[in-house]
């Protein structure tokens, strides 16, 4: 061991220096008698100090402190033992190995210098190569020292992550700390993310926790805050790799994975029609339903481009199943004849009504179109579904239908009233309310991402605005759950946890996609927009279903005569191009202006 050589050299030079290169023969014997004790005490002190667990390429002031205290302890203990034995020299008969005091001091200074300087020499000798490595090699911090973490380290060392090096691990289990996995040290707990990233010049962090005990949002935020590229590994299957953090990871809750066993049993072999099938939710519904091997899946949409792209995406994944199962039909929910043509031809068992105008500011200035599409389009689709013998009909609604403050939300509330009140003995009607769907067309997330990648600014209507969020797969799964458990007349909602402050979301996205220097600019609430959204009406009480985290909203009952009168008043207002907003206020007592609902 090199340190043992330094200790020997320190003692030898100190003797030669003290006696001016003329060491008495007696002290030469003292040197050889003292050396074993000095080696044992000094090396033990160095080991206890932790100096041998330090990565020398990053040696700092702590190395000097460890070297100084450890060598001083070794020299001091050796001197004390020598002195005690010297006091009993009459009984022993000789001065066994005590040397002059200055020799010990000189020896300590020389040994301290050699031990400390050797560490810094290694640091500076590797500085050039490390700078080159920093540019070319990813320096990875692993979060988690369990099975997932060890798998990631093995994959890194086997080259699966390219030109990368695992340099440190963090884990909250005290029993694992200060050990190592495949020569990669476990340097502390997850409360040291920022400190460790700076100390080891980390360029990438992989969160490798296969079965997290709780919410990892705080940990994720800490990792993103370092400015390093953050990835998540949760795969337990062979060949799994870490993935980039996506915006769904920032929800503040775990993504809900609902049990789809009954959904599979119900949909297999059935004919299903999706209006708005080319949209964000319609596309995901199509992806999930195809896995349940339906008899036919009909996409009905006014936009042929989205359906066309989806068809070829699914054909690549499912092959001939798509060609034999998936049918594309172009048409509008406003066109009753077109609806009759399609439903009459395919006789669907299930209709999922996803077609709607959903953009709040645009519908404020195009209120007639919102009513024609969202209200009368829903009515016509439901009417034709009954006449064609559809067994179950589910409409996709929105949290903006609860105490609405905009035309879009009011139109969707009226649509809910229609499908929960329409008289029939053949079709079971239900609705599903969503919060904001991450990544859907026109949602805030892709807008923020586009602004961030362009260098900013990120535009936010109000710093205090909050929203409920769910992912596209969650939204589609909730719709399919509703189809499988509905009895008719329900409005289903999903427990989406706590609402998200949009400014916090924007700040996290800036860390995730940007440089951290992009500015956030507040532009003021848009027409019809409120600071917060609710999931339940004031008079509703959530009722749990047999499915975890899915609830049914209990509502006021509307008789069909009242609903028909509502539709006649709306139709009359449309025909004379009257005040749609005033009409909605009359029909929906819960429809209020934004300033009356925002805190």
Question: How many other C-beta atoms lie within 10 A of the C-beta of residue 442?
Answer: 11
Is residue 141 included in any domain, yes or no? yes
Q: Are residues 185 and 51 in the same domain?
A: no
Distance CA 306, CA 275 (A): 13
CB neighbour list of residue 494: distance below 8 Å, 6 or more residues apart: 256, 434, 470, 474, 478, 549, 550, 551
Q: Are residues 142 and 86 in the same domain?
A: no
Distance CA 13, CA 1 (A): 19
Measure the CA angle with vertex 406, ends 404 and 412; round to 5°: 60
Q: Are residues 290 and 406 in the same domain?
A: yes
Question: How many other C-beta atoms lie within 10 A of the C-beta of residue 455?
Answer: 11
Question: Measuring CA to CA, how many Å separate 32 from each of 12, 39, 114, 151?
Answer: 10, 11, 20, 50
Give me the domain span that covers residue 78. Answer: 2-127
What's CA 111's distance to the chain center, in Å?
51
Question: Measuring CA to CA, how many Å separate 497 from each of 219, 253, 576?
Answer: 18, 7, 44
Give the pLDDT confidence score for residue 210 in this predicted structure: 61
Q: Are residues 118 and 229 in the same domain?
A: no
Half-sphere exposure of 171 (CA within 13 A, CB side): 25
**Of 394, 484, 389, 395, which Cα lies nearest the Cα of 427?**
389
Q: Tell me the whole-structure pTM to 2 decimals.
A: 0.65
CB neighbour list of residue 583: distance below 8 Å, 6 or more residues apart: 569, 570, 573
Is residue 508 included in any domain, yes or no? no
Q: Which residues are catalytic?
A: 400
Is residue 393 included in any domain, yes or no? yes
Distance CA 282, CA 260 (A): 18
Q: Are residues 210 and 62 in the same domain?
A: no
Q: Are residues 151 and 170 in the same domain?
A: yes
Sign of torsion over alpha carbons 46, 49, 50, 51 = negative
What backbone phi and psi angles, to 5 degrees, belong to 352?
A: -110, 115
Q: Are residues 236 and 334 in the same domain?
A: no
The domain spanning residue 586 has which CATH number? 3.40.50.720
For residue 324, give the H/E element and its range: helix 320-325
Give the end of a domain, one of 104, 127, 150. Answer: 127
Is residue 255 included in any domain, yes or no? no
**Of 566, 556, 558, 559, which Cα lies nearest the Cα of 536?**
556
CB neighbour list of residue 587: distance below 8 Å, 6 or more residues apart: 414, 566, 569, 570
Q: Are residues 23 and 76 in the same domain?
A: yes
Q: Are residues 84 and 106 in the same domain?
A: yes
What backbone phi and psi angles, to 5 degrees, belong to 364?
A: -65, -35
Exposed/middle/buried for residue 37 (C-beta within 10 Å: 0-12, 13-18, 19+): middle
Is residue 310 included in any domain, yes or no? yes
Is residue 64 included in any domain, yes or no? yes
Q: Are residues 84 and 206 in the same domain?
A: no
Distance CA 538, CA 554 (A): 10
Give the end of a domain, one of 78, 99, 127. Answer: 127
**Of 195, 193, 205, which Cα lies nearest the Cα of 156?**
205
Alpha helices in 207-279 (DSSP H): 217-225, 261-267
Q: How many domains does the chain have?
A: 3
What backbone phi and psi angles, to 5 degrees, belong to 178?
A: 65, 25
Give the end of a domain, one of 101, 127, 153. Answer: 127
In contact, 483 and 477? CB cutoff 8 Å: no
Distance CA 435, CA 444 (A): 12
Is residue 506 included in any domain, yes or no? no
Q: Are residues 486 and 371 in the same domain?
A: yes
Distance CA 261, CA 265 (A): 6
Each residue's pLDDT expressed in tens, for the chain with a length of 599 residues: 688 888 888 878 887 777 777 777 766 777 777 888 888 888 888 888 877 776 565 555 667 788 888 888 888 888 888 888 777 766 655 556 677 878 888 888 888 888 878 877 776 665 445 444 444 678 999 999 988 888 899 888 877 787 889 999 999 888 888 898 988 999 999 999 999 999 999 999 999 886 555 567 778 888 888 888 888 886 654 456 788 777 667 666 556 666 788 888 899 999 999 999 988 888 999 989 988 889 999 999 998 888 888 888 888 877 777 888 999 999 999 999 999 999 999 999 999 999 999 888 899 999 999 999 999 999 999 999 999 999 999 999 988 888 888 999 999 999 999 999 998 888 999 999 877 777 676 677 778 888 888 888 999 888 888 887 778 888 888 888 888 888 888 888 877 767 788 888 888 788 777 777 788 999 888 776 777 766 553 334 667 776 767 888 877 788 999 999 999 999 999 999 999 999 999 999 889 877 644 44
Q: Are residues 474 and 422 in the same domain?
A: yes
Please list the helix, strand and coil fractions of the chain in percent, rounded to the nearest 5, in that order: 50, 15, 35
Distance CA 327, CA 410 (A): 33
Q: What is the dihedral of CA 450, 452, 458, 464, to 10 degrees?
A: 100
Is residue 250 included in any domain, yes or no? no
Distance CA 300, CA 353 (A): 10
């Amino acid at each position: 061991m090199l340190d043992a050589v330094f200790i020997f050299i320190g003692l030898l030079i100190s003797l030669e220096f003290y006696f001016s290169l003329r060491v008495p023969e007696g002290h030469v014997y003292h040197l050889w008698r003292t050396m074993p004790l000095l080696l044992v005490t000094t090396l033990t002190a160095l080991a206890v100090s932790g100096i041998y667990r330090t990565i020398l390429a990053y040696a700092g002031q702590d190395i000097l402190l460890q070297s100084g205290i450890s060598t001083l302890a070794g020299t001091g203990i050796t001197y004390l033992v020598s002195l005690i034995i010297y006091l009993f020299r009459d009984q022993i008969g000789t001065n066994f190995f005590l040397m002059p005091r200055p020799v010990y001091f000189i020896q300590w200074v020389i040994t301290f210098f050699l031990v400390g300087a050797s560490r810094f020499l290694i640091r500076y000798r590797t500085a050039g190569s490390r700078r080159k490595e920093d540019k070319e090699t990813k320096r990875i911090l692993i979060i988690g020292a369990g099975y997932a973490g060890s798998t990631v380290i093995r994959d890194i060392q086997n080259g699966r992550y390219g030109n990368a090096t695992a340099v440190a691990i963090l884990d909250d289990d005290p029993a694992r700390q200060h050990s190592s996995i495949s020569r990669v040290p476990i340097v502390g707990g997850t409360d040291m993310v920022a400190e460790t990233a700076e100390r080891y010049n980390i360029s990438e962090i992989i969160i490798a926790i296969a079965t997290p005990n709780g919410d990892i949002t705080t940990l994720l935020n800490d990792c993103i805050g370092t400015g390093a590229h953050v990835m998540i590994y949760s795969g337990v299957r062979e060949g799994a790799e870490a993935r980039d953090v996506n915006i769904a990871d920032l929800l503040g809750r775990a993504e809900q994975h609902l049990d789809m066993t009954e959904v599979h049993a119900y949909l297999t072999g059935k004919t299903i029609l999706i209006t708005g099938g080319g949209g964000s939710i319609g596309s995901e519904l199509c992806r999930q339903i195809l896995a349940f091997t339906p008899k036919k899946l009909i996409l009905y949409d006014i936009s042929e481009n989205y359906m066309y792209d989806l068809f070829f995406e699914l054909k690549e994944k499912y092959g001939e199943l798509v060609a034999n199962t998936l049918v594309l039909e172009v048409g509008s929910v406003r066109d009753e004849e077109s609806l009759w043509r399609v439903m009459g031809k395919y006789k669907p068992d299930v209709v999922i009504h996803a077609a709607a105008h959903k953009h709040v500011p645009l519908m404020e200035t195009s209120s007639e179109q919102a009513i024609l599409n969202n209200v009368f389009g829903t009515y016509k689709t439901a009417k034709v579904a009954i006449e064609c013998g559809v067994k179950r009909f589910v409409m996709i609604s929105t949290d903006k239908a609860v105490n609405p403050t905009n035309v879009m939300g009011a139109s969707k509330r009226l649509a809910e009233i229609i499908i929960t009140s329409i008289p029939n003995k053949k079709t079971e009607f239900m609705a599903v309310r969503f919060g904001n769907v991450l990544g859907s067309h026109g949602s805030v997330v892709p807008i923020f991402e586009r602004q961030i990648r362009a260098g900013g600014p990120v535009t936010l209507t109000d710093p205090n605005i909050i929203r409920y969020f769910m992912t596209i797969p969650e939204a589609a799964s909730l719709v399919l759950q509703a189809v499988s458990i509905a009895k008719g007349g329900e409005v289903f909602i999903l427990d989406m946890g706590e609402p998200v402050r949009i400014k916090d979301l924007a700040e996290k996205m800036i860390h995730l996609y940007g440089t951290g220097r992009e500015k956030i600019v507040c532009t003021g609430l848009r027409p019809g927009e409120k600071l917060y959204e609710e999931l339940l009406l004031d008079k509703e009480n959530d009722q749990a279903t047999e499915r975890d985290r899915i609830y049914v909203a209990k509502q006021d009952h509307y008789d069909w005569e009242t609903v028909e009168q509502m539709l006649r008043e709306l139709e009359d207002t449309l025909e004379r191009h009257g005040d749609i907003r005033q009409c909605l206020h009359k029909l929906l007592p819960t429809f209020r202006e934004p300033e009356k609902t925002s805190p």
